[in-house]
Amino acid sequence: MRKITAANIVSAIRQLPRNQDYNYISPKTKGLIRIVDVIMPEGGIKFKRWNPANGEKPETAKVENISSHAIWRYANAFVENQPVNIDRVFGGSLNIRSVLESLTAHTPQFYYCYPGRIEEIAGQVEIKSGHKHLMWIPSDPHRNGIIVEKKVNVAISEIPMQAVTYDLVLPPALENAGIDVNMARRHTQIQIALYLIGLNLGFRTWIAQNDKGIIYNDKPLIEQSGIVKTLQDEPMVYPHDGAVSPRRKHQTKWFYPKASPAIP
């Protein structure tokens, strides 16, 4: 399955003509967008937006920025030939989402579309008019600098088929570290994901000292099945000089099991 990256999207927007201003996809959204600067390879993207109908002018419009983090979040939502609701990607937050969506739609590999919406009430299913979506179709590019609608004969359920949830509590070391809470949560989620990957592969995992207190399924990671308690007691490690050095305390390691169990 092909994936698109933040660098791909930033590069495509950078190739849009600079001598024109861009409309939003939705005619209900008034105003114009002007690209000020595109920072390679992964953003940000600096732009201005203004509404001439309100007497606004580009000369007095402030320069705003779409961060690399937002572009990555956006890029990760796309699967080839599948409609994506951008409002859902950003959870209705970030007031730059319609700008990013509109600029992307002007690039050759993206189309906007209106798939049907599956509505189920009391067991009765109907297909209703859908909301605006964006599609990445790399096999069928259109001319650069214009927006093109793609007619689609699909309907999308607004109820997810499956949800994956973590019982996640930050360890005090991260919670009280004075760093952005979203960054702390991402770090914690990655540590849990690494532990679960190792568990499913039949590996034993050593977690960095400052992450052993992360709570997963009501227990600290250090108490979970498949976690190496200390490197000093690990037969694969202690014979090697320096392998149990304090300098390595921030690394996550996987160790092969004595006998490989069946993967669940």
> 6: closest CA among 61, 64, 65, 78?
78
Fill in the DSSP letter of residue 231. G
pLDDT band at 209 (very low <50, low <70, confident <90, very high): confident
* Residues 145 and 20 sit within 8 Å (Cβ to Cβ): yes
The helix (H) or strand (E) run that includes residue 34 is strand 32-38
- For the chain, the average pLDDT equals 82
Place of tokens 């930033």: 10
Confidence check: pLDDT of 239 > 80? no
- Which residues are CB-neighbours of 221 under 8 A, at least 6 positions away? 191, 192, 195, 207, 211, 212, 213, 214, 215, 227
pLDDT in tens, 65-104: 999 999 999 999 999 999 999 998 998 778 999 999 999 9
pTM of the model: 0.62
pLDDT band at 262 (very low <50, low <70, confident <90, very high): very low
pLDDT of residue 6: 95
pLDDT in tens, 20-70: 999 999 888 889 999 999 999 998 999 999 999 999 999 999 999 999 999
> 133: closest CA among 105, 174, 95, 91?
105
pLDDT > 70: percent of the chain: 77
Domains of the chain, residue spans: 6-157, 168-255
More confident residue, 247 or 193: 193
Confidence check: pLDDT of 252 > 80? no
Sign of the CA dihedral running 72, 104, 45, 40? positive
Confidence check: pLDDT of 132 > 70? yes
Give alpha helix (H) positions in 90-241.
97-105, 172-175, 181-200
Phi, psi of 123 (to 5 degrees): 80, -5
